Protein backbone atom coordinates (compact mmCIF):
# COMPACT_ATOMS: atom_id res chain seq x y z
CA UNK A 1 0.00 0.00 0.00
CA UNK A 2 1.99 2.97 -1.34
CA UNK A 3 5.19 1.59 0.14
CA UNK A 4 3.96 1.83 3.72
CA UNK A 5 5.78 -0.58 5.99
CA UNK A 6 3.58 -3.37 7.31
CA UNK A 7 3.39 -2.11 10.91
CA UNK A 8 2.09 1.28 9.85
CA UNK A 9 -0.37 -0.29 7.43
CA UNK A 10 -1.78 -2.51 10.17
CA UNK A 11 -2.04 0.49 12.46
CA UNK A 12 -4.16 2.35 9.95
CA UNK A 13 -6.25 -0.68 9.03
CA UNK A 14 -7.05 -1.54 12.64
CA UNK A 15 -7.89 2.01 13.71
CA UNK A 16 -11.06 2.37 15.70
CA UNK A 17 -13.82 4.82 14.97
CA UNK A 18 -13.97 8.09 16.86
CA UNK A 19 -14.34 7.61 20.59
CA UNK A 20 -14.79 10.07 23.47
CA UNK A 21 -11.71 12.20 24.01
CA UNK A 22 -11.29 11.43 27.71
CA UNK A 23 -13.23 9.50 30.33
CA UNK A 24 -15.51 11.45 32.62
CA UNK A 25 -13.62 13.14 35.44
CA UNK A 26 -14.55 12.77 39.10
CA UNK A 27 -15.86 15.86 40.90
CA UNK A 28 -12.70 16.45 42.94
CA UNK A 29 -10.05 18.45 41.12
CA UNK A 30 -6.66 16.69 41.04
CA UNK A 31 -3.55 18.89 41.06
CA UNK A 32 -0.21 17.74 39.60
CA UNK A 33 3.28 19.15 39.88
CA UNK A 34 5.13 18.30 36.67
CA UNK A 35 8.87 18.37 35.92
CA UNK A 36 10.59 18.18 32.52
CA UNK A 37 14.38 17.85 31.97
CA UNK A 38 14.72 15.71 28.83
CA UNK A 39 17.08 18.09 27.01
CA UNK A 40 18.32 21.59 27.82
CA UNK A 41 15.31 23.31 29.41
CA UNK A 42 14.64 23.04 33.16
CA UNK A 43 10.85 23.05 33.47
CA UNK A 44 8.27 22.85 36.25
CA UNK A 45 4.51 23.43 36.20
CA UNK A 46 1.32 22.96 38.18
CA UNK A 47 -1.74 21.75 36.26
CA UNK A 48 -5.20 20.62 37.37
CA UNK A 49 -7.52 17.90 36.10
CA UNK A 50 -10.07 20.55 35.05
CA UNK A 51 -7.59 21.86 32.44
CA UNK A 52 -6.13 24.84 34.30
CA UNK A 53 -2.44 25.73 34.03
CA UNK A 54 -1.68 27.31 37.39
CA UNK A 55 1.97 27.85 36.52
CA UNK A 56 4.43 26.95 33.77
CA UNK A 57 8.09 27.76 34.33
CA UNK A 58 10.81 27.24 31.71
CA UNK A 59 14.45 28.10 32.43
CA UNK A 60 16.48 27.95 29.22
CA UNK A 61 20.20 27.22 28.90
CA UNK A 62 21.00 29.23 25.76
CA UNK A 63 23.85 31.14 27.41
CA UNK A 64 25.66 27.86 28.11
CA UNK A 65 25.21 26.22 24.70
CA UNK A 66 25.46 29.18 22.31
CA UNK A 67 29.29 29.26 22.38
CA UNK A 68 29.51 25.66 21.11
CA UNK A 69 26.52 25.91 18.76
CA UNK A 70 24.74 22.92 20.28
CA UNK A 71 23.75 21.13 23.47
CA UNK A 72 26.69 19.73 25.44
CA UNK A 73 25.42 16.93 27.69
CA UNK A 74 27.58 17.60 30.75
CA UNK A 75 26.92 21.33 30.56
CA UNK A 76 23.18 20.65 30.32
CA UNK A 77 23.24 18.31 33.33
CA UNK A 78 25.09 20.85 35.48
CA UNK A 79 22.68 23.60 34.40
CA UNK A 80 19.69 21.41 35.34
CA UNK A 81 21.22 20.83 38.75
CA UNK A 82 21.50 24.59 39.24
CA UNK A 83 18.15 25.56 37.73
CA UNK A 84 15.65 22.84 38.64
CA UNK A 85 15.20 23.66 42.36
CA UNK A 86 14.41 27.27 41.49
CA UNK A 87 12.05 26.22 38.69
CA UNK A 88 10.06 23.99 41.06
CA UNK A 89 9.96 26.67 43.74
CA UNK A 90 8.75 29.31 41.25
CA UNK A 91 6.11 26.96 39.80
CA UNK A 92 4.66 26.40 43.27
CA UNK A 93 4.86 30.10 44.14
CA UNK A 94 3.16 31.12 40.90
CA UNK A 95 0.42 28.57 41.59
CA UNK A 96 -0.02 29.95 45.10
CA UNK A 97 0.53 26.65 46.87
CA UNK A 98 3.08 24.58 48.72
CA UNK A 99 4.36 21.20 47.60
CA UNK A 100 2.19 19.56 50.27
CA UNK A 101 -0.89 20.92 48.45
CA UNK A 102 -0.30 19.00 45.21
CA UNK A 103 -2.03 15.63 44.81
CA UNK A 104 0.59 13.95 42.60
CA UNK A 105 3.99 14.51 40.99
CA UNK A 106 4.84 13.71 37.35
CA UNK A 107 8.12 13.80 35.44
CA UNK A 108 9.59 12.97 32.04
CA UNK A 109 10.75 9.35 32.18
CA UNK A 110 11.85 9.33 28.54
CA UNK A 111 12.77 9.63 25.78
CA UNK A 112 15.62 12.09 26.12
CA UNK A 113 19.24 12.62 27.11
CA UNK A 114 19.98 10.11 29.87
CA UNK A 115 21.91 12.42 32.18
CA UNK A 116 19.36 15.22 31.83
CA UNK A 117 16.46 12.86 32.46
CA UNK A 118 18.23 11.58 35.56
CA UNK A 119 18.40 15.04 37.17
CA UNK A 120 14.63 15.45 37.01
CA UNK A 121 13.88 11.82 37.83
CA UNK A 122 16.08 11.69 40.92
CA UNK A 123 14.77 14.99 42.24
CA UNK A 124 11.10 14.11 41.70
CA UNK A 125 11.28 10.55 43.01
CA UNK A 126 13.01 11.71 46.19
CA UNK A 127 10.46 14.49 46.63
CA UNK A 128 7.48 12.19 46.06
CA UNK A 129 8.85 9.51 48.38
CA UNK A 130 9.54 11.95 51.21
CA UNK A 131 6.03 13.44 50.91
CA UNK A 132 4.34 10.09 50.21
CA UNK A 133 2.83 11.52 47.04
CA UNK A 134 1.84 9.30 44.08
CA UNK A 135 4.23 9.39 41.12
CA UNK A 136 3.81 9.01 37.34
CA UNK A 137 6.58 8.87 34.72
CA UNK A 138 5.48 10.31 31.36
CA UNK A 139 6.54 9.65 27.77
CA UNK A 140 7.73 13.00 26.44
CA UNK A 141 6.41 12.46 22.90
CA UNK A 142 3.00 11.28 24.07
CA UNK A 143 2.78 14.47 26.13
CA UNK A 144 3.44 16.57 23.00
CA UNK A 145 0.67 14.74 21.13
CA UNK A 146 -1.89 15.25 23.93
CA UNK A 147 -1.14 18.92 24.62
CA UNK A 148 -4.17 20.25 22.66
CA UNK A 149 -6.49 18.54 25.16
CA UNK A 150 -5.09 20.99 27.71
CA UNK A 151 -4.76 24.13 25.58
CA UNK A 152 -7.68 24.08 23.12
CA UNK A 153 -11.19 25.33 23.96
CA UNK A 154 -13.45 22.55 25.22
CA UNK A 155 -15.59 22.65 22.07
CA UNK A 156 -12.57 22.43 19.73
CA UNK A 157 -10.73 19.39 21.06
CA UNK A 158 -9.37 16.78 18.60
CA UNK A 159 -11.53 13.70 18.07
CA UNK A 160 -10.05 10.23 17.95
CA UNK A 161 -8.58 8.90 15.75
CA UNK A 162 -6.44 11.84 14.63
CA UNK A 163 -3.01 12.31 13.09
CA UNK A 164 -0.19 13.85 15.11
CA UNK A 165 2.97 15.24 13.55
CA UNK A 166 5.70 15.65 16.16
CA UNK A 167 8.69 17.65 14.96
CA UNK A 168 11.53 18.25 17.43
CA UNK A 169 15.30 18.29 17.66
CA UNK A 170 15.36 14.59 18.45
CA UNK A 171 12.29 13.17 16.71
CA UNK A 172 10.21 13.35 13.55
CA UNK A 173 7.08 11.25 14.04
CA UNK A 174 3.80 10.90 12.22
CA UNK A 175 1.34 9.13 14.52
CA UNK A 176 -2.15 7.72 14.39
CA UNK A 177 -3.58 8.53 17.82
CA UNK A 178 -6.53 6.27 18.65
CA UNK A 179 -6.97 7.12 22.34
CA UNK A 180 -5.06 8.89 25.15
CA UNK A 181 -3.09 5.66 25.61
CA UNK A 182 -2.91 4.24 22.09
CA UNK A 183 -0.36 5.64 19.64
CA UNK A 184 0.71 4.01 16.36
CA UNK A 185 3.78 5.15 14.41
CA UNK A 186 3.00 5.63 10.73
CA UNK A 187 6.34 7.25 9.88
CA UNK A 188 9.56 8.13 11.64
CA UNK A 189 12.98 9.32 10.55
CA UNK A 190 15.49 6.76 9.32
CA UNK A 191 18.41 9.00 10.26
CA UNK A 192 18.30 12.60 11.43
CA UNK A 193 15.38 14.46 13.03
CA UNK A 194 14.12 17.59 11.33
CA UNK A 195 15.07 19.89 14.21
CA UNK A 196 18.61 18.56 14.35
CA UNK A 197 19.05 19.02 10.60
CA UNK A 198 17.77 22.60 10.77
CA UNK A 199 20.13 23.44 13.63
CA UNK A 200 23.11 21.95 11.80
CA UNK A 201 22.37 23.80 8.56
CA UNK A 202 21.92 27.07 10.47
CA UNK A 203 25.38 26.47 11.98
CA UNK A 204 26.86 25.69 8.54
CA UNK A 205 25.42 28.96 7.25
CA UNK A 206 27.06 30.73 10.20
CA UNK A 207 23.82 32.10 11.57
CA UNK A 208 23.95 33.40 15.16
CA UNK A 209 22.35 31.56 18.08
CA UNK A 210 19.28 33.71 18.73
CA UNK A 211 16.98 33.96 21.73
CA UNK A 212 15.10 30.82 20.63
CA UNK A 213 18.06 28.83 19.32
CA UNK A 214 19.64 28.09 15.93
CA UNK A 215 16.51 26.72 14.24
CA UNK A 216 14.58 29.89 15.01
CA UNK A 217 17.52 31.94 13.72
CA UNK A 218 17.25 30.26 10.32
CA UNK A 219 13.52 30.93 10.16
CA UNK A 220 14.01 34.58 11.13
CA UNK A 221 16.83 34.99 8.63
CA UNK A 222 14.62 33.77 5.77
CA UNK A 223 11.58 35.70 7.01
CA UNK A 224 13.56 38.94 7.06
CA UNK A 225 13.76 38.74 3.29
CA UNK A 226 16.57 38.78 0.73
CA UNK A 227 19.62 40.99 1.20
CA UNK A 228 20.22 44.13 -0.78
CA UNK A 229 21.16 43.36 -4.37
CA UNK A 230 19.33 40.02 -4.44
CA UNK A 231 17.97 39.35 -7.93
CA UNK A 232 15.22 36.74 -8.00
CA UNK A 233 15.66 36.33 -11.76
CA UNK A 234 19.37 35.55 -11.46
CA UNK A 235 18.97 31.92 -10.41
CA UNK A 236 21.59 31.55 -7.69
CA UNK A 237 23.50 28.30 -7.46
CA UNK A 238 22.15 26.32 -4.48
CA UNK A 239 22.30 22.73 -3.20
CA UNK A 240 20.14 20.16 -5.00
CA UNK A 241 17.29 19.27 -2.64
CA UNK A 242 14.74 16.52 -3.24
CA UNK A 243 12.22 14.54 -1.20
CA UNK A 244 13.81 11.21 -0.19
CA UNK A 245 12.14 7.79 -0.37
CA UNK A 246 9.40 8.88 -2.72
CA UNK A 247 6.04 7.17 -2.07
CA UNK A 248 7.31 5.65 1.20
CA UNK A 249 6.09 6.64 4.66
CA UNK A 250 9.51 7.39 6.09
CA UNK A 251 11.32 10.62 6.87
CA UNK A 252 14.96 11.40 6.18
CA UNK A 253 16.60 14.76 6.79
CA UNK A 254 20.25 13.72 6.65
CA UNK A 255 20.14 14.16 2.87
CA UNK A 256 19.21 17.86 2.88
CA UNK A 257 21.75 18.43 5.63
CA UNK A 258 24.49 16.60 3.69
CA UNK A 259 23.63 18.37 0.44
CA UNK A 260 24.10 21.73 2.15
CA UNK A 261 27.35 20.64 3.79
CA UNK A 262 28.83 19.36 0.52
CA UNK A 263 27.75 22.51 -1.33
CA UNK A 264 29.54 24.71 1.20
CA UNK A 265 32.58 22.44 1.44
CA UNK A 266 33.13 22.61 -2.31
CA UNK A 267 33.24 26.38 -1.96
CA UNK A 268 35.31 26.23 1.25
CA UNK A 269 32.49 28.01 3.03
CA UNK A 270 32.98 31.15 0.98
CA UNK A 271 29.63 32.25 -0.43
CA UNK A 272 28.18 35.72 -0.84
CA UNK A 273 25.18 36.89 1.17
CA UNK A 274 22.75 36.40 -1.72
CA UNK A 275 23.79 32.76 -2.15
CA UNK A 276 23.55 32.20 1.60
CA UNK A 277 20.00 33.56 1.62
CA UNK A 278 18.99 31.50 -1.43
CA UNK A 279 20.38 28.37 0.23
CA UNK A 280 18.58 29.00 3.53
CA UNK A 281 15.32 29.70 1.71
CA UNK A 282 15.56 26.56 -0.44
CA UNK A 283 16.53 24.40 2.55
CA UNK A 284 13.56 25.50 4.64
CA UNK A 285 11.22 24.95 1.71
CA UNK A 286 12.62 21.45 1.09
CA UNK A 287 12.26 20.32 4.71
CA UNK A 288 8.64 21.43 4.94
CA UNK A 289 7.84 19.97 1.51
CA UNK A 290 8.94 16.57 2.78
CA UNK A 291 6.47 16.84 5.67
CA UNK A 292 3.70 17.66 3.19
CA UNK A 293 4.58 14.72 0.92
CA UNK A 294 4.57 12.19 3.78
CA UNK A 295 1.35 13.60 5.21
CA UNK A 296 -0.30 13.10 1.85
CA UNK A 297 0.71 9.43 1.85
CA UNK A 298 -0.66 8.99 5.37
CA UNK A 299 -3.99 10.61 4.51
CA UNK A 300 -4.28 8.42 1.43
CA UNK A 301 -3.64 5.30 3.51
CA UNK A 302 -6.23 6.35 6.09
CA UNK A 303 -8.82 6.93 3.39
CA UNK A 304 -8.14 3.56 1.76
CA UNK A 305 -8.61 1.84 5.11
CA UNK A 306 -11.72 3.87 6.00
CA UNK A 307 -10.18 5.59 8.98
CA UNK A 308 -11.85 9.00 9.29
CA UNK A 309 -9.31 11.71 10.12
CA UNK A 310 -10.81 15.02 11.22
CA UNK A 311 -7.81 16.62 12.91
CA UNK A 312 -4.07 16.99 12.45
CA UNK A 313 -2.16 17.96 15.60
CA UNK A 314 1.31 19.43 15.02
CA UNK A 315 3.57 19.96 18.01
CA UNK A 316 7.22 20.01 19.11
CA UNK A 317 9.76 22.81 18.93
CA UNK A 318 9.87 22.95 15.12
CA UNK A 319 6.10 23.53 15.11
CA UNK A 320 6.88 27.09 16.23
CA UNK A 321 8.09 27.77 12.68
CA UNK A 322 5.52 30.10 11.06
CA UNK A 323 6.43 29.08 7.51
CA UNK A 324 5.72 25.46 8.43
CA UNK A 325 2.36 26.46 9.92
CA UNK A 326 1.39 28.44 6.85
CA UNK A 327 2.38 25.69 4.41
CA UNK A 328 0.60 22.90 6.30
CA UNK A 329 -2.53 25.02 6.51
CA UNK A 330 -2.44 25.59 2.75
CA UNK A 331 -1.66 21.90 2.19
CA UNK A 332 -4.74 20.73 4.10
CA UNK A 333 -6.94 23.19 2.21
CA UNK A 334 -5.74 21.57 -1.03
CA UNK A 335 -6.71 18.03 0.11
CA UNK A 336 -10.36 18.25 -1.00
CA UNK A 337 -10.61 14.49 -1.61
CA UNK A 338 -10.60 13.83 2.15
CA UNK A 339 -12.81 14.86 5.03
CA UNK A 340 -12.36 18.48 6.08
CA UNK A 341 -9.32 18.29 8.34
CA UNK A 342 -8.72 20.86 11.04
CA UNK A 343 -5.13 21.81 11.80
CA UNK A 344 -4.37 22.21 15.50
CA UNK A 345 -1.24 23.69 17.04
CA UNK A 346 -0.69 24.26 20.75
CA UNK A 347 0.34 27.84 21.59
CA UNK A 348 3.96 28.50 20.67
CA UNK A 349 5.11 28.37 24.30
CA UNK A 350 3.48 24.93 24.61
CA UNK A 351 5.10 23.51 21.46
CA UNK A 352 8.58 23.67 22.93
CA UNK A 353 9.56 21.56 25.94
CA UNK A 354 7.51 22.41 29.01
CA UNK A 355 6.32 20.73 32.21
CA UNK A 356 2.64 21.64 31.82
CA UNK A 357 2.26 19.03 29.06
CA UNK A 358 4.01 16.46 31.27
CA UNK A 359 1.67 17.14 34.18
CA UNK A 360 -1.38 17.00 31.91
CA UNK A 361 -0.35 13.72 30.25
CA UNK A 362 -0.11 12.10 33.69
CA UNK A 363 -3.56 13.05 34.96
CA UNK A 364 -5.48 10.23 33.29
CA UNK A 365 -3.24 7.71 35.08
CA UNK A 366 -3.47 9.49 38.42
CA UNK A 367 -7.27 9.54 38.26
CA UNK A 368 -7.41 5.80 37.65
CA UNK A 369 -4.90 5.03 40.41
CA UNK A 370 -2.35 3.81 37.87
CA UNK A 371 0.85 5.18 39.38
CA UNK A 372 4.53 4.20 39.24
CA UNK A 373 6.78 2.87 42.01
CA UNK A 374 9.52 5.15 43.30
CA UNK A 375 12.03 2.63 41.92
CA UNK A 376 10.91 3.13 38.31
CA UNK A 377 13.83 3.29 35.84
CA UNK A 378 14.45 5.84 33.13
CA UNK A 379 13.71 4.91 29.49
CA UNK A 380 15.92 7.18 27.32
CA UNK A 381 14.84 5.31 24.14
CA UNK A 382 11.14 4.95 24.99
CA UNK A 383 8.95 4.37 21.93
CA UNK A 384 5.80 6.44 21.73
CA UNK A 385 3.90 3.22 20.98
CA UNK A 386 4.73 1.75 24.40
CA UNK A 387 2.44 3.46 26.88
CA UNK A 388 3.90 1.33 29.67
CA UNK A 389 7.51 0.27 29.96
CA UNK A 390 8.63 -2.01 32.79
CA UNK A 391 12.14 -3.39 32.30
CA UNK A 392 13.02 -6.54 34.21
CA UNK A 393 14.88 -4.54 36.84
CA UNK A 394 11.78 -2.50 37.67
CA UNK A 395 8.73 -3.33 39.72
CA UNK A 396 6.01 -4.88 37.57
CA UNK A 397 2.63 -3.16 37.09
CA UNK A 398 1.09 -5.99 39.08
CA UNK A 399 2.83 -4.66 42.19
CA UNK A 400 3.20 -0.92 41.72
CA UNK A 401 3.36 0.03 45.42
CA UNK A 402 6.07 2.55 46.27
CA UNK A 403 9.00 1.52 48.47
CA UNK A 404 8.08 2.28 52.06
Residues of the chain predicted below pLDDT 50: 1-8, 11, 14-21, 391-404
Give the pLDDT of residue 113.
Answer: 93
Say if 13-147+352-367 and 158-350 have the same CATH topology. yes
158-350 has which CATH code?
3.30.420.40
Predicted pLDDT at 114: 95
CA 327 remoteness from chain centre: 19
pLDDT digit string, tens, across residues 11-41 = 455 444 443 445 555 568 999 999 999 988 9
Each residue's pLDDT tens digit, 382-404: 999 987 655 443 333 333 333 32
Which CATH code for domain 13-147+352-367?
A: 3.30.420.40
The reported pLDDT for the residue numbered 336 is 75
CA dihedral 2, 195, 236, 295 (to 10 degrees): 20
Contacts 24+ apart (CB under 8 A), 64-72: 64/40, 65/40, 65/209, 66/209, 69/203, 69/209, 69/214, 70/199, 70/203, 70/214, 71/39, 71/40, 71/113
Taking the domains of the chain in order of start, what are their residue ranges?
13-147+352-367, 158-350
Amino acid sequence: MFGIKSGAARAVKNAVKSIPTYPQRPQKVFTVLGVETSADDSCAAVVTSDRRILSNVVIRQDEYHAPTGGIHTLVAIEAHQRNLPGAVQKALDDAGMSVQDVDGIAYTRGPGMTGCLAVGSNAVKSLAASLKKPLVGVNHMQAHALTPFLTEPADMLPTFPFLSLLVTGGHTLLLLVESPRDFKILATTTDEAIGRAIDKVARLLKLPWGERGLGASLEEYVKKGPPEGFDIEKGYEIPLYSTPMHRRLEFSFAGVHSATEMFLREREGNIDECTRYATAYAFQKATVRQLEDKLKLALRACKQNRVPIRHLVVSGGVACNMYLRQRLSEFLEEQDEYYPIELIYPPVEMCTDNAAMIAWASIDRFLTGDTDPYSTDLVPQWSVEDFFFYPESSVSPANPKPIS
